[in-house]
């Protein structure tokens, strides 16, 4: 493999680009208009415009992406995550055009993408699934009957979906009709398919997933699990490896089940089996992500395996380099997804210009970022700015490093979730390692998220000093009739010994 | 120099004196001696009685945004002698109609309020979409919706006036 087309943006485009660089592969980045000044394009070997800002005309435009990849003589396309990563149609278009799709075959993506068929397929391999309907519900009557047989609460989910869209929780029989209707309409608008199915709600669940790698020679290995229970709006925000919750016995069973299921469906490349684990360590298959996961760095930190390079090597047809027993598991790692959102305003998106940036570093810290000082966070795409990961010999050390790095991390001009994560790192329940998917609602209810402002005094001191200097400079300038506003601070700095 | 800091609507008098490059600040009846340097255009390093702080800081007119790793604090600073006049002018404004503006760039998905509707503080007015997420915009205070300046499906820029609350 000599040239890879990266059909994505943001931090993940940079991540893939780095793997290409290390392997001596030419990284070709496709970009939309607002991403012209992104880091991925700035670091790329070659970059080509796909189209305007709107995803449907750029990062989701299959014919255009295939056309550019062919014109630029790329051997392969890496889809990253999101956008076209799990579109079977895209993988099929690559296969048809004779371009390697870095991921599983299109038929496998299709199978795992239809949640009800996927459940059936993995069940055939002996994977436990959450009690639920194995096919889309025909009508409300069927939904009512099924819900009654499982017992409430139940979840209604979009058959074509994921990412929390088209998902409704129903506490009792009286709420079913409305939820059924709303889920259908959400599923229709989000995925163009109103099919929904029903699942028993696992109470107080942990979200634990198994990372697997499968080559084209029948070898399948696992890289352990990730605990992803800290979520807001059904989306993960903090992940860790290993899970502080599951027992060694549960881990062994889950990994075994994941490998058997991957073999059963003929899976190739990197993939993730997501499970819900209840308080008694019973686990149930949730879905399979047939792509690179956002949170892959925690697994990389613990195993030392570069998952993106493994993906490229598998896609080139090479056999896996490691046997299961050779996979090392060292220490503990945590990732925080830094979003452009205001945690004190119900995680409202906060696009805009990053006017100041101080990036953390030091022992055990890894930052996968798509931002820089002066970068304008576009409002067209996902608000993920960067991923901060910390590794430690123990979970405690990883948490200490993460907390310390979050204190160093400063993003100015927009709101971010950094301060919120710092509070999580200090939360007794998180430190104990006992938390479920309702952690944020349970311990950080909206009222609670607004914290006391301990730094008021320092803020006033800082601002007053700046105002004082600003005022003096302005007055002096007026008298001298010289200096431009831009240089005011420089002048002051020289006069007052304030160094820039 | 005498200043008034306005923080969460509370006016706080501050006095700043500089001698030999060191600052002396008096606020809330306490005097602090402060050493300050500006390592970058956007930051300020302070040593306040031995304790070291680094803050990100930005000025936009009278408005200062001060960034800490765990907080962002916005305040306004006025010269004490000019503050009274400003405050008077403000009071007149706040009694009049209030412009409801877009807090961020995005698209208007749905307008739930109708013209001449009485709304309570915190009541949803419209739904905006930005970065693939929908957010409710709530009434900043009770009032009557007088003019709607936007339509559903319309893109808006930050600070664009969406409606008038009276």
What pLDDT digit, counting tens, does each position of A362-399 carry? 999 999 999 999 999 998 898 999 999 999 999 999 99
Instruction: Provide the pLDDT for residue B158.
Output: 77
Question: Nearest CA of chain B to the CA of A439: how many Å?
Answer: 20
- The answer to whether B67 faces chain A, any CB pair under 8 Å, is yes
- The answer to whether A407 faces chain B, any CB pair under 8 Å, is yes
Give the model's confidence band at A442: pLDDT under 50 very low, under 70 low, under 90 confident, else very high.
confident
Of A383, A409, A463, the CB nearest to B131: A383
The mean pLDDT value for B47-75 works out to 90
Q: Indicate if the pLDDT at residue A25 is higher than 90.
A: yes
Residues 10-29 of A with CB under 8 A from B: none
Q: Indicate if the pLDDT at residue A332 is higher than 90.
A: yes
CATH code for the part of the protein at B98-165: 2.40.50.100
> Chain A partners of B39 at a C-beta cutoff of 8 Å?
499-500
Q: Indicate if the pLDDT at residue A61 is higher than 90.
A: yes
Q: Indicate if the pLDDT at residue A429 is higher than 50.
A: yes
Q: Indicate if the pLDDT at residue A192 is higher than 90.
A: no
- The answer to whether A425 faces chain B, any CB pair under 8 Å, is no
- The answer to whether A186 faces chain B, any CB pair under 8 Å, is no
Mean pLDDT, rounded, of chain B: 86
Where do the CATH 3.30.700.30 domains begin and end in chain B?
Answer: 2-95
Of B55, B72, B103, the CB nearest to A458: B55
Give the model's confidence band at B71: pLDDT under 50 very low, under 70 low, under 90 confident, else very high.
confident
Structure tokens at A336: 């925080």
> Chain B partners of A382 at a C-beta cutoff of 8 Å?
131-132
Q: Taking CA atoms, what residue in A is nearest to B25?
A: A461
- The answer to whether A471 faces chain B, any CB pair under 8 Å, is yes
Instruction: Provide the pLDDT for residue A431.
Output: 96
Q: Taking CA atoms, what residue in A is nearest to B32?
A: A461
Of A358, A456, A493, the CB nearest to B73: A456
Question: Taking CB atoms and an 8 Å limit, are A351 and B105 in contact across chains?
Answer: yes
Domain A206-449 has CATH 2.60.120.10: no
Of A348, A349, A412, the CB nearest to B58: A412
A321 is catalytic: no
ω before B6 within 30° of 0 (cis)? no
Of A291, A366, A395, A404, which one is the catalytic site residue? Answer: A291
Give the model's confidence band at B91: pLDDT under 50 very low, under 70 low, under 90 confident, else very high.
low
What is the C-alpha to C-alpha distance for residues A108 and B83, in angstroms, rounded to an integer?
68
Interface test mutation site (partner A, options B23, B70, B79, B158, max chain A beta carbons within 10 A)? B70
Residues 319-378 of A with CB under 8 A from B: 340, 346, 348-352, 355-356, 358
Give the model's confidence band at B92: pLDDT under 50 very low, under 70 low, under 90 confident, else very high.
low
pLDDT tens for A93-152 read 999 999 999 999 999 999 999 888 898 899 999 999 988 887 889 899 999 999 998 889
- The answer to whether B140 faces chain A, any CB pair under 8 Å, is no
**Tokens 């915009």 -> residue:** B137
| Dihedral pair phi/psi, residue A123, rounded to 5° | -65, -35
What is the C-alpha to C-alpha distance for residues A291 and A287, in angstroms, rounded to an integer?
12
Give the model's confidence band at A191: pLDDT under 50 very low, under 70 low, under 90 confident, else very high.
confident
3.40.640.10, 3.40.50.620, 3.40.50.2300, 3.30.1490.20: which CATH number matches A131-200? 3.30.1490.20
Domain spanning B2-95, CATH class = alpha beta
> Chain A partners of B34 at a C-beta cutoff of 8 Å?
461, 465
| Domain covering A3-102, topology | Rossmann fold (3.40.50)
Q: Which of A401-405, A473-477, B51-55, B136-140 has the highest mean pLDDT?
A: A401-405
Is pTM, for the whole model, over 0.90?
A: no
Where do the CATH 2.40.50.100 domains begin and end in chain B?
Answer: 98-165
- The answer to whether A486 faces chain B, any CB pair under 8 Å, is no
Question: Taking CB atoms and an 8 Å limit, are B69 and A350 in contact across chains?
Answer: no
Mean pLDDT, rounded, of chain A: 91
Instruction: Provide the pLDDT for residue A481.
Output: 46
Question: Taking CB atoms and an 8 Å limit, are A462 and B57 in contact across chains?
Answer: yes
Structure tokens at A427: 């939360």
């Amino acid at each position: 493999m000599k040239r890879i087309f990266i059909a994505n943006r943001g931090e993940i485009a940079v991540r893939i680009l780095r793997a290409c660089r290390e392997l001596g592969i030419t990284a070709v980045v496709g970009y939309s208009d607002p991403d012209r000044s992104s880091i991925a394009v700035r670091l790329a070997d070659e970059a080509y415009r796909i189209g305007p800002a709107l995803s449907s005309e750029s990062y989701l435009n299959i014919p255009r992406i295939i056309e550019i990849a062919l014109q630029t003589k790329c051997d392969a396309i890496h889809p990253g995550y999101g956008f076209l990563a799990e579109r079977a149609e895209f993988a099929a278009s690559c296969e048809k055009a004779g371009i390697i799709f870095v991921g599983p075959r299109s038929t496998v993506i299709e199978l795992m993408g239809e949640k009800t068929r996927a459940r059936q397929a993995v069940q055939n391999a002996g994977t436990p699934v959450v009690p639920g309907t194995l096919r889309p519900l025909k009508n409300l009557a069927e939904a009512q009957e099924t819900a009654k047989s499982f017992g409430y609460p139940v979840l209604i989910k979009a058959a074509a979906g994921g990412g929390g869209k088209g998902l409704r929780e129903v506490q009792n029989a009286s709420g079913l009709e409305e939820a059924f209707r709303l889920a259908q309409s959400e599923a229709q608008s989000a995925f163009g398919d109103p099919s929904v199915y029903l699942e028993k709600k696992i109470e107080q669940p942990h979200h634990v997933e198994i990372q697997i790698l499968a080559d084209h020679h029948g070898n399948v290995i696992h890289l352990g699990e990730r605990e992803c229970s800290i979520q807001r709006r059904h989306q993960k925000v903090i992940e860790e490896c290993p899970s502080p919750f599951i027992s060694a016995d549960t881990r062994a069973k889950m990994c075994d089940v994941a490998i058997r299921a991957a073999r059963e469906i003929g899976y190739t490349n990197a993939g993730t089996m997501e499970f819900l684990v209840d308080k008694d360590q019973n686990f149930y298959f949730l879905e399979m992500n047939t792509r690179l996961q956002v949170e892959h760095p925690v697994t990389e930190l613990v195993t030392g395996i570069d998952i993106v390079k493994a993906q490229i090597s598998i896609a080139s047809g090479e056999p896996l380099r490691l046997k299961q027993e050779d996979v090392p598991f060292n220490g503990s790692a945590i990732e925080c997804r830094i979003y452009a959102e205001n945690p004190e305003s119900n995680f409202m998106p906060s696009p805009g210009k990053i006017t100041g940036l101080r990036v953390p570093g030091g022992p055990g810290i890894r930052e996968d970022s798509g931002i820089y000082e002066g970068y304008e966070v576009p409002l067209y795409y996902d608000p993920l700015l960067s991923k901060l990961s910390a590794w430690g010999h123990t979970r405690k050390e990883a948490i200490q490093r993460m907390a310390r790095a979050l204190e160093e991390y400063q993003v100015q001009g927009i709101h971010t979730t950094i301060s919120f994560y710092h509070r999580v790192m200090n939360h007794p329940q998180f430190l104990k390692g006992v938390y479920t998917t309702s952690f944020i609602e349970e311990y950080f209810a909206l009222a609670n998220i607004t914290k006391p402002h301990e730094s008021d005094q320092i803020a006033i001191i800082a601002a007053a000093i700046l105002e004082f200097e600003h005022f003096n400079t302005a007055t002096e300038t007026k008298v001298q009739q010289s200096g431009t506003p831009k240089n005011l601070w420089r002048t002051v700095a020289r006069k007052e010994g304030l160094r820039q | 120099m005498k200043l008034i800091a306005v923080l969460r609507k509370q006016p706080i008098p501050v006095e700043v004196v500089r001698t030999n490059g060191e600052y002396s600040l008096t606020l809330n009846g306490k005097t602090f001696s402060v050493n300050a340097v500006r390592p970058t255009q956007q930051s300020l390093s302070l040593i306040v009685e031995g304790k070291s702080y680094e803050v990100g800081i930005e000025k936009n007119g009278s408005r200062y945004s001060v960034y800490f790793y765990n907080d962002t604090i916005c305040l306004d600073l006025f010269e004490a002698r000019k503050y009274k006049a400003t405050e008077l002018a403000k009071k007149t404004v706040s009694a009049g109609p209030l412009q409801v503006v877009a807090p961020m760039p995005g698209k208007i998905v749905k307008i739930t309020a109708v013209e001449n509707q009485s709304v309570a503080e915190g009541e949803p007015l419209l739904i905006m979409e930005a970065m693939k997420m929908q957010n409710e915009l709530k009434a900043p205070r009770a009032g009557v919706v007088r003019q709607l300046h936007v339509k559903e499906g319309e893109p808006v820029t930050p600070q664009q006036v969406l409606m008038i609350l009276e």
